[in-house]
């Protein structure tokens, strides 16, 4: 087994995990498969956030959504609850001075499951009927959470706070991918979109012979994933060496130790 662990998170969230991986005696390689960038025009975001006090609940779908939104938030208004999908988002809120002491933060009941489906199970949906709810997300985010809240009678608005995109296939990235796929490694994949991006990047590599070889090598990598939805995506894409850990960096690190 290779000592290398490929971390595919956006760079903003990858470095703390990389340090923890290195502390286990493993080599951490940063290969961000999603690039996070500011909105081209944030006027709508600033307009919505200026009216935060009018919402009963604000749901943030990711740490990136929190970081981008709090660039425009001074102090969180009293009486406005927050919903997040996982421990990473809780940590992002804490970084901005928001904790359970003054603000009620809703999250999935089982920290092993950090997704919109389990967040919905933790919310008192009936209490939100007829009340305003804001969902803060990246451009083009999933509709599952807003649709379910609307189905419960909430008056839901959505707003994008950042952009995300799969990086372009430069010669340098192509060379890095080919080198990493030349031998089996552990890959930490924390997003279905990032995994689809990885497959797309490999598909765009040059010759047909190289394409087939790298596709085979890609499916031989071991993927360590925190969510069942990512696991399902990986299975659908033909990956067979999968470790499903549950949410949280501590579970990802425990899986690396147990697999070593």
User: Looking at the structure, do residues 91 and 48 belong to the same domain, yes or no?
Assistant: yes
Residue finishing a domain among 131, 164, 197: 164
Residue finishing a domain among 115, 148, 164: 164
Is there a contact between 40 and 220 (Cβ–Cβ < 8 Å)?
no
* Residue 252 belongs to domain spanning: 4-34+168-259
- Domain with residue 82: its CATH number is 3.40.50.10090
Residue 27 has a pLDDT of 96
Q: How far is CA 12 from CA 30, 36, 101, 157, 169, in A?
A: 11, 8, 27, 27, 20
Residue finishing a domain among 164, 199, 222: 164
Domain count across the chain: 2
Residue 203 has a pLDDT of 87
Structure tokens at 36: 């996070």
User: Looking at the structure, do residues 27 and 135 belong to the same domain, yes or no?
Assistant: no
Least confident of 41-50, 108-117, 121-130: 108-117
Structure tokens at 57: 């609940």
Q: Which helix (H) or strand (E) holds 164?
A: strand 155-165
The structure's pTM equals 0.84
Where residue 231 falls among pLDDT bands split at 50, 70, 90? Answer: very high
Residue 138 has a pLDDT of 93
Query: How, if at all, do strands 132-138 and 105-106 pair?
Result: unpaired
Compute the average pLDDT of residues 150-172: 95
Structure tokens at 191: 């997003």
pLDDT at position 174 over 60: yes
């Amino acid at each position: 087994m290779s000592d290398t662990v490929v971390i595919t998170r956006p760079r903003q969230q990858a470095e703390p995990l990389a340090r923890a991986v290195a502390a286990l005696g493993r080599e951490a390689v940063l290969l961000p498969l999603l690039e996070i960038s500011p909105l081209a025009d944030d006027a709508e975001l600033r307009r919505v956030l200026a009216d935060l006090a009018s919402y009963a609940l604000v749901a943030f779908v990711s740490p990136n959504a929190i970081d981008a939104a709090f660039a425009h938030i001074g102090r969180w208004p009293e009486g406005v609850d927050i919903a997040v999908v996982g421990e990473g988002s809780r940590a992002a809120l804490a970084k901005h001075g928001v904790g359970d002491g003054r603000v009620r933060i809703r999250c999935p009941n089982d920290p092993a499951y950090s997704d919109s489906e389990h967040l919905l199970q933790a919310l008192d949906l009936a209490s939100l009927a007829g009340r305003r709810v804001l969902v803060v997300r990246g451009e083009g985010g999933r509709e599952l959470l807003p649709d379910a809240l609307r189905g419960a009678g909430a008056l839901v608005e959505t707003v994008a706070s950042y952009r995300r995109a799969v990086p372009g296939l430069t010669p340098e990235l192509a060379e890095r991918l080919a080198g990493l796929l030349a031998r089996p490694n552990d890959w930490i994949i924390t997003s279905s979109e990032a995994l689809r991006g990885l497959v797309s990047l490999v598909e765009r590599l040059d010759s047909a012979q190289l394409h087939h070889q790298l596709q085979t090598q890609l499916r031989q990598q071991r993927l360590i994933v925190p969510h069942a939805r990512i696991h399902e995506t990986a299975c659908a894409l033909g990956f067979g060496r999968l470790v499903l850990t549950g949410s949280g960096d501590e579970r990802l690190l425990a899986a690396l130790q147990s697999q070593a």
